[in-house]
């Protein structure tokens, strides 16, 4: 896997497994997520974050600022 690949590139949606339900029908959701390992839950959370907010590898880091200051000699 290349360094540029992200979680969003790895996951694929199996459209045959999708169904449309009410937002208030959460009976299967809790059982589904409890059946997953903590690592799988975090990976899914990161995928949802990338879908909502995007992923840009060029802005993944904070900008570092380096400045040299010369003090006057007394």
Q: In Å, how far from its chain's centre is CA 9?
A: 11
CA–CA distance, 7 with 53 (Å, rounded to integer): 13
User: Per-residue pLDDT for 13 more than 90?
Assistant: no
In this predicted model, what pLDDT tens digit does every residue of 15-71 receive, in sequence order? 787 777 777 776 777 888 889 999 999 999 988 888 888 776 666 666 677 888 888
pLDDT at 61: 64
For residue 58, what are the CA distances in angstroms to 2, 3, 15, 51? 15, 12, 31, 17
pLDDT at 41: 94
pLDDT at 39: 95
CA–CA distance, 33 with 43 (Å, rounded to integer): 12
């Amino acid at each position: 896997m290349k360094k540029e690949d992200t979680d969003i590139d790895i996951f694929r949606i199996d459209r045959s497994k999708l169904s449309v339900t009410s937002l208030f029908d959460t009976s299967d959701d809790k059982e589904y997520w409890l059946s997953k390992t903590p690592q799988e839950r975090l990976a899914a959370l990161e995928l949802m974050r990338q879908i909502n907010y995007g992923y840009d590898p060029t802005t993944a880091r904070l900008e570092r600022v380096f400045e040299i200051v010369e003090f006057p000699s007394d």
